[in-house]
Chain A
Amino acid sequence: MGKIFIYECKRLLCNKFFFGILLILLFYGRQVLNDITIMGVSHTAPFSAWSFGDYLSRMIPVLWIATLLFLTFFTSPAARRVSVLTDAAPMPPRRYEAVRCCAALAASVLTALVCIAEAAVFYGVYFGRCDIGSLTAPALVTALPAIMFALGSGRFLGQINERLVYIWMAAPLAAAALPLPGAMGIWNGSFFTEYPLLTGSTEPAFAVPAEIAAVQCAFLVCGAVMSVCRFGKK
């Protein structure tokens, strides 16, 4: 299994496509940090967990698209044609699918880590501060459910029709433009810009209300479930 995992990771990471995505991600991240995050969000410091969370929520569309693009390696017509062979291999197809999902997840997490590292460097250079500990909670609550849900839902849609994966890439852009309910505030960034103002403090400690946490957990679980389930015809 380990060999297959490493092989799939190599397929995803060691190609010009991945480096292209990283370049776009770094470029976009720099623009967000330089133009928006530097001002600080809701009166908090630019290096606060809230401003960092806002940065990550703005990066979600790029991370989402990157995750779905990784999935297209497995849902493309060429990959489907190869599945005739891989399905005949002496390994349970479900386990093979799980290993491939893990590889896609690893690649997505790696892109998210690059995003986080870029912010950390930015904070270090401009403000001489980089408290990784305080950035962990917003990173977990913002990026992880988004990546997991993108992976699960993308895999689900890819099994129906590979073109749906491309259409699904527009989902976070639509979410950013729509007036979502408060519990989904992380998906359009409103949580990070509005919640600190409700606390009445200038530098409130990072906290996630129960309904937001529940929604993010639901996305995480849904994503995980959809990642491991096999839909449609075998």
Chain B
Amino acid sequence: MKAVKYFSYEVKRLMRERPALLVIILSVLSPLAGLTLYRPASAGTMMSVYLANPALAGGAVSGILFGALTLYELDRTKRKRMEALTDAACPPTDTALIRTAALLPIAAAALMLTMLVWLPVSFFKIGSVMDLTNYCLAYLLFMGLALPSAILAASAAYQFTRRADLSFVLFAAFAGSSLTVWADDWQLCWLNPCVWALSDDFSNFRIFRSVAYMRLTWLTGLAGIWTLSWICVRRRGKGIIGSALYSCRRLYRPAAALLLLVCYGIGYAAQPIVDHSDPDPEVMTFAELPYLDGIVCSGRTAQVCPDTSDGTVDGKAVYMFSNSSGREQTAAFGINPGYTVYSAKANGEDAAFSVGGHQEFNEAMLEVAVPAEGDVELVVEYGGFPQESSGFSTHQGYTEISEKYICLQNAALAPRLLNVLPDEGGYPAEIEITLPEHMTVIPFCASEAERISANDGMAVWRYEDSGTGGILYAGDYICQNIEAGGIDIQFYYGRKHREVMETAGASEAVKTVVDYCTEHYGPLSFGSGGSLKLIQSRVYGGGYAGGGASLLDEEDFTSDNLNGSGKGAAPGEVMIHELVHQWWGLANMFDPSDSTDPWSAEGLTVYTAYRIVKELYGADYAEKYYTEQWRKETDDYYLNFYVREPEYLDRLPEDKRAEITGALSHVRQYCEMPLKILKAEKLVGGEEAMDGILSELFSREPDPAYPYLTYQNFLDACGLKEEDLELG
């Protein structure tokens, strides 16, 4: 009871202290930094700019302020030389506990005030896509939990060292590490979580879960360190060791510290959010598996049931095999590393299976024994919380599973067959998915999903696909039908965005691009069946195109972006770029084996986007935002030290080499190659001649043995040699 009384005295005292009031006021103002100085969320969505950044900045700034306040308050009695008196009135350990705990309500008050003050500002700036759930979660997780973490860290530093200056340096180093060297490690950045984007139109539960996990593990760890430091609180005139030994007479104290630290260690090591994929993008052992001899796959089905409340997936996948080898063999599947395989049955009998420890490209390898029987029906039951790739740990959020949005890609949808060839029919697949009734299912392929039943607020959808993988989107979508270039386009966008889309005339822009490409290069001919799906995805950082479908990032459709004039080539024209990929970039157009090859889908796509922009906005605009940028980037590339002196690149550690090579190949694909195509355009006689050449290349009859469009094909069509296109 005494402790409660002292705690209430301490809180009241703090509320009257000028430094504490100053820290509360500065904390309320701290989100301002997120609008000006500190903007870690790089995406352009309204929620990222006007909610994530202010909340993150608020967390970082007020965390540091509360850390400093903690040191100031804990050092007070020592500074005023009142320790002897306070120690006589109350045991030092109790005093330390009360003083640290009393700072927590002050931090809570600062958070509440900040949220109240910034709520109308956020509503005003974000507009129609503002959402109260996102607002509360963002401030509580990004800002709120930074404050107790900072208080615990600063308090622990002081209790260990008993020196305010040294504690301040330690705390500054700890906070500074989070803001700099740990900023790209989602588990270590305790002060400033790795949040690169918040979605406007869809939900953000995945990234909130990730941040909450990081915050809770750190809070556990810091609570453990704080308890350890609490044990070391000096008492009876003893030093750190003597005090610790004295405190340890009550065994629950070291036991609590140990328990908390062990929990932190386990929480850190066994995190369920991100996988442990091989960081080297060159390692593709799954893709290099030899195909099984005498076994073919004649089809597969999958029944997938995402749980939108806890973000998990349960599924049953069935594979039909013909085994003519006469012996048992092992089929390999890529499966999301977060999933557990519950069972595998071959023709109704339990089959031996194992999931390997090695992971690459967000897949673990599931191996299942296929018995020596002619026709085998293999049933795999799986489920769990899908993990995201460690390579994108700073860009988390794409595997969102909620009532507003679902994205399941390849091995996250169903185990992906790795080492069994298809029979003559390819890999026909039938996918069934059970979702809340209000959600629309959009398979990322040419086929349409059909709602086959609805019951108790849930609906079952079915669609057909082919191949070993597959991508599925679902959400609260509106579909707008557009006729352009002789094809039917289904333009799917989030319901929350309807007003913005209609005001901006986005569908007219889509029509312009499709009409342009059809007129200049010809109609879409492969796998689209006279239709094309344009799907607005949750913020993704780009987009991709597949047979009959193209993904458009919601970032391209923010009201700021769509209404902005003079923003130049990026990011608004990404929409054009991704649409153009329907002409240049589907699977059978470019050889995907070497991702660093300068000749890729990007060269022709960037060039075509430039031509469209030139037609739409004029030559000056295109020159300023396209060709000038290409030249600058290409010049920089040629001057790069590692390009000039490649022998030094070979000396570097593997990860650094991969990072630099990747960055350089990006310039070659997106800037150098378009410049070469532009040079070719001049050499062949101008835009019209180049359009004719590209039209011929687009509609060429591919060689089935090697169907890809090569650089040599392009040079031959232009009547040029490689050296003709060298950039001087």
- Residues in chain A within 8 A of chain B (CB atoms): 17, 20-21, 24, 27-28, 31, 34-35, 38-40, 43-46, 65, 69, 72, 126-128, 166, 177, 202
Contacts and interface: CB of A to CB of B under 8 A. Distances in A.
Contact of B180 (A31, A44, A177): A31
B515 to A, nearest CB: 43
Contact of A127 (B636, B640, B651): B651
B641 A128 contact: no
Given A17-B166, A28-B181, A31-B180, A43 B641 contact: yes
B651 A43 contact: no
A177 B641 contact: no
Contacts of A35: 181
Q: Chain B contact residues: over half helix, strand or loop, or mixed?
A: helix
Contacts of B641: 40, 43-46, 202
Contacts of B642: 40
Given A28-B181, A127-B651, A69 B169 contact: yes
Interface string B133-176: 00000000000000000000000000000000110111001000
B76 interface: no
Contacts of B170: 20
B624 interface: no
A69 B173 CA distance: 14
Contacts of A40: 640-642
A84 to B, nearest CB: 18
B652 A126 contact: yes
A24 B636 contact: no
B651 A45 contact: no
Given A39-B660, A43-B641, A127 B166 contact: no
A28, A43, A127: residue with the most chain B Cβ atoms closer than 10 Å: A43
A59 B639 CA distance: 26
A45 B181 CA distance: 23
A187 B440 CA distance: 56
B643 to A, nearest CB: 9
Contact of A72 (B165, B173, B660): B165
Contacts of B269: none
Contact of A31 (B37, B181, B645): B181
A169 B653 CA distance: 36
A39 B642 CA distance: 8
Nearest to A165: B165
A24 B173 contact: yes
A173 to B, nearest CB: 10
A28 B639 CA distance: 29
Interface in B634-691: 636, 639-642, 644-645, 648, 651-653, 656, 660
A93 B653 CA distance: 55
Contacts of B640: 40, 43
B639 A202 contact: yes
A45 B180 contact: no
A65 B639 CA distance: 36
19 contacts: A20-B169, A24-B169, A28-B180, A28-B181, A31-B181, A39-B660, A40-B642, A43-B639, A43-B641, A45-B641, A45-B648, A69-B165, A72-B165, A126-B651, A127-B648, A127-B651, A128-B651, A166-B165, A202-B644
Contact of B636 (A43, A72, A177): A43
A177 B648 contact: no
Contacts of B660: 39
Interface string B616-645: 000000000000000000001001111011
Nearest to B653: A126
A15 to B, nearest CB: 10
Contacts of B653: 126
Contacts of A21: 169
B134 to A, nearest CB: 30
B165 A38 contact: no
Contacts of B652: 38, 126
B166, B648, B651, B660: residue with the most chain A Cβ atoms closer than 10 Å: B648
A45 B642 CA distance: 8
A17 B648 CA distance: 39
Nearest to A202: B639
Contacts of B165: 69, 72, 166
Nearest to B170: A20
A14 to B, nearest CB: 16
Contacts of A43: 636, 639-641
Given A20-B170, A39-B660, A69-B165, 17 more contacts: A17-B166, A24-B169, A24-B173, A27-B181, A31-B180, A31-B181, A35-B181, A40-B640, A40-B642, A43-B636, A43-B639, A45-B641, A45-B648, A127-B651, A177-B37, A202-B639, A202-B641
A40 B169 CA distance: 31
A86 B652 CA distance: 55
Nearest to A16: B166
Contacts of B639: 43, 202
Contacts of A24: 169, 173
A125 to B, nearest CB: 9
A166 B37 CA distance: 22
A39 B636 CA distance: 13
Q: Which A-B residue pairs are the 3 nearest by beta carbons?
A: A43-B639, A40-B641, A31-B181
A198 to B, nearest CB: 14
A55 to B, nearest CB: 14
A122 to B, nearest CB: 12
Contacts of A39: 660
Given A43-B639, A126-B651, A177-B37, A38 B656 contact: yes
Contacts of A46: 641
A35 B644 CA distance: 20
A179 to B, nearest CB: 13
Contacts of A44: 641
A28 B169 CA distance: 14
A177 B651 CA distance: 34
Interface string B272-287: 0000000000000000
B642 to A, nearest CB: 8
Interface string B29-43: 000000001000000
Contacts of A69: 165, 169
A31 B641 CA distance: 20
A126 B653 CA distance: 8
A202 B645 CA distance: 11
Nearest to B164: A166
B521 to A, nearest CB: 38
A44 B652 CA distance: 16
Contacts of B636: 43
Contacts of A72: 165
A166 B168 CA distance: 10
A69 B169 CA distance: 9
A74 to B, nearest CB: 13
A67 to B, nearest CB: 13
A44 B641 CA distance: 6
Nearest to B637: A43
Interface in B400-424: none
A226 to B, nearest CB: 22
B417 to A, nearest CB: 40
Nearest to A129: B648
Contacts of B169: 20-21, 24, 65, 69
